[in-house]
Structure 1
Amino acid sequence: MTTIDVFNHGVPAESDFGYSQAIKSGELIHVSGQLSHDEAGELLHADDFAAQLAQTYANMDKVLGHYGATRNQVVSQTLYMVNLRQDAAAGMAGNLAYFGDHRPASTVLGVTELAFPGQVIEISFIVDTKLPA
Structure 2
Amino acid sequence: MATIDVFSYDVPAESDFGYSQAIRSGELVHVSGQLAFDEAGEFLHPGDFTAQLKQTYANMDRILDHYGATRRQIVSQTLYLVNLRQNAAATMDGNLRYFGDHRPASTVLGITELALPGQLVEISFVIDTKLPA
Query: Structure 2-normalised TM-score?
Result: 0.99
- Separation (CA, whole Å) in 1 of partners of 2:98 and 2:42: 23
Q: CA deviation at 1:26?
A: 0.3
2:72 corresponding residue in structure 1: 72
Which has the larger displacement, 40-49 or 22-31? 40-49
1:27 corresponding residue in structure 2: 27
Alignment root-mean-square deviation, CA? 0.5
Which has the larger displacement, 78-87 or 36-45? 36-45
Q: CA deviation at 1:77?
A: 0.2
Q: Deviations over 1:10-52 (max 9, x none)?
A: 1110001000000000000000000000112111011111100
Say yes or no: does 1:81 pair with 2:61.
no
Unaligned 5+ segments in structure 1 are none
Say which SS state the counterpart of residue 20 (structure 1) adopts: coil
Identity percentage of aligned residues? 78
Runs in 1 of length 4+ with deviation above 6 angstroms? Answer: none
1:79–1:121 CA contact under 8 A, matched in 2: yes
1:12–1:40 CA contact under 8 A, matched in 2: no
